[in-house]
A and B are shown apart, each in its own frame.
Chain A
Amino acid sequence: MDKVKAPILIKKGAEANLYLTEWHGRKVVIKKRLAKKYRPSRLDNQIRTYRTTHEAQIMHEAKNAGVPTPTIFLVDMKKTTIIMEFIDGKQIKQLFSNISVDKRKKICFKIGELVGRLHEYGIIHGDLTTSNMILNSEGKIFFVDFGLCEKTKELEAKGVDLHLMKRALQSTHFDFADECFKAIIDGYTEVVGSDTAKNVLDKISEIKKRGRYVAERKEGN
């Protein structure tokens, strides 16, 4: 952790604080999971250590799956800290409402392809929201925040992953959630094939029905 100069806090998140700084001449982000004093310290340490290591490992693996992620430079388990590449771009969440329908559909299609690649590789992101995707100046979409990810190829996990994506769209981008999700599924289908995509979609509606107070016949409305 040497040679880190005057880090600037860029985001005080729920999961971690993000600092921007220079490290060995590179622009980097330091992601530090601070202790959550509301929960018992043993449980808290367990969660933070697990998520830090897991996140670093899988962010690296995601590259093999063909999904752009920031490069990891250093993981400090004791300090539950990761130093990673700074991605110069914009959160998808921020630019979504200011672009044309076509552009948005294209981005969603691409997101769907990336999720498809992760799932084919056996990676479940676990927190697919438009805040966790960054579009850089070259038009490349990076996935970040792998703290809740899982390594599995189970249909159930894939279904939950996309169900959460859909829910995140509905709560944050309610005006065009449906068109976005449709484009994401199109992109997803392109990668995983229509048989798998259909199984995952069926799973999503099954997962939805497990929730509290869900009108069964309203799927797709």
Chain B
Amino acid sequence: MMKKSYCLGIESTADDFSVGISNFDGKILANVISAYIPEKGGIHPREAARHHAEVADKVLEEAFKKAKIKLKEISIIAFSQGPGLGPCLRTGATVARALAAYLNVPLVGVNHCVAHIEIGKLTTGAADPLTLYVSGGNTIVSAFDSGRYRVFGETLDIALGNCLDVFAREAGLSQRAGLPFGAMVEKIAGKGKKLIPLPYTVKGMDVSLSGLLTATVNLLKQSTYSLEDLCYSLQETAFSMVTEITERALTHTEKKEVLLTGGVAANKRLQSMIKYIAEEHDANFCVAPTQFSIDNGAMIAWTGILAYRHGVTTPVEKSFVRLKWRLEEVAIPWIK
């Protein structure tokens, strides 16, 4: 008897708790995301983890409703094993272990960064891209070579999304459901005209964003410039830096596709810059659709399938979360 197989993926590295369901052909049947929005300040890991624990059953229920399948039709449980915030990761891992034990199906621990790249490839059709992955926690320029996703460029300190978020909070903006800080900064930046000189720090194929953030926040506090001009200048400077290192990595690796993903990928200005350099070097520009570029369970489910098909499973005793699991540490047996 033919049995349909599905993988359920759980994502909980930071402020989002998400459940995705994918079949073995990469058809995404569900991708339900619940975001934790702090009342004040940044993500408090314990508070975010509490949110994840509270919404887990509802998110799971909704995912099954969307996918129109039953719990017992799931044949693999995948979860985001790292990198990320400890309490958040542990909450997702606990749900995953419980489900896998209950259903008596294999557990697959997935690297969050690998998953971002894989879902980006699946949803855009990119085969072997140079990826710029920019989010609240990561700023990475990566491409596949000899069994691994190699990291060619990255941030030396804070991530691009983090830089924009902290600035937005310092400016007194408040996050609302469906309108993240990055989108607010983008909207305000659209009204800015004056380019304020800010530190532009490219080091080899890496960038440093902490000095830029400090300088912009200091100017904000002096109230010499309008918020519009500050947002505009911050975006232009930071995006120019990451675009420059992406172009460097592109000429270095000579890949023929550029994939933009991660939460900041939704920014239209950044998209236009990356598109420009891709075209400049005859490479195809791809950007992951927003629901698959932000943190999502579908990417974990799909990567779980890729790994499982190549014999990768994670026994419970090895399913401890890995807070600092770097992208290039992961063997990628599914790419020849």
Residues of A whose CB lies within 8 Å of any CB of B are 12-15, 36-40, 42-43, 47, 126-129, 131, 148, 160, 164, 167-168, 170-172, 174-175, 207, 210-216
Instruction: Using CB atoms, name the residue of chain B closest to A147.
Output: B202
The answer to whether A39 and B243 touch across the interface, beta carbons within 8 angstroms, is yes
Known contacts A39-B273, A211-B155; decide if A13 and B251 are in contact (CB<8 Å): yes
Tell which of A168, A170, A215 touches B324, judged by Cβ atoms closer than 8 Å: A215
The answer to whether A214 and B326 touch across the interface, beta carbons within 8 angstroms, is yes
Determine the chain B residues whose CB is within 8 A of the CB of A14 once the complex forms: 244, 247-248, 250-252, 277
Q: In the complex, how many residue pairs between chain A and chain B have their CB atoms under 8 Å apart?
A: 102
Determine the chain A residues whose CB is within 8 A of the CB of B150 once the complex forms: 170-172, 174
The answer to whether B243 and A148 touch across the interface, beta carbons within 8 angstroms, is no
B35 to chain A minimum Cβ distance, whole angstroms, is 21
Q: What are 21 sample pairs from A and B whose C-beta atoms fall under 8 A apart?
A: A14-B277, A37-B276, A38-B240, A38-B277, A39-B239, A40-B195, A40-B240, A42-B195, A128-B204, A164-B204, A167-B151, A167-B205, A171-B150, A171-B151, A174-B146, A175-B146, A210-B157, A212-B137, A212-B139, A213-B83, A213-B325
Q: How many Å lie between the Cα of A37 and that of B195 in the bound state?
A: 15
The answer to whether A148 and B203 touch across the interface, beta carbons within 8 angstroms, is yes
Known contacts A43-B236, A174-B146; decide if A215 and B247 are in contact (CB<8 Å): no
Determine the chain A residues whose CB is within 8 A of the CB of B236 once the complex forms: 39-40, 43
The answer to whether A47 and B200 touch across the interface, beta carbons within 8 angstroms, is yes
Instruction: Using CB atoms, name the residue of chain B closest to A13.
Output: B251
B277 to chain A minimum Cβ distance, whole angstroms, is 6
Q: How many Å lie between the Cα of A207 and that of B239 in the bound state?
A: 23
Q: How many Å lie between the Cα of A207 and that of B139 in the bound state?
A: 16
* B206 interface contact, C-beta 8 A: yes
Determine the chain A residues whose CB is within 8 A of the CB of B157 once the complex forms: 210-211
The answer to whether A126 and B203 touch across the interface, beta carbons within 8 angstroms, is yes
The answer to whether B206 and A38 touch across the interface, beta carbons within 8 angstroms, is no
Instruction: Using CB atoms, name the residue of chain A closest to B246.
Output: A14
Q: How many Å lie between the Cα of A127 and that of B203 in the bound state?
A: 7
Determine the chain A residues whose CB is within 8 A of the CB of B159 once the complex forms: 212
What are the 9 closest A-B residue pairs judged by CB atoms, nearest first? A39-B240, A213-B83, A164-B204, A14-B247, A38-B273, A14-B248, A38-B276, A14-B251, A213-B324
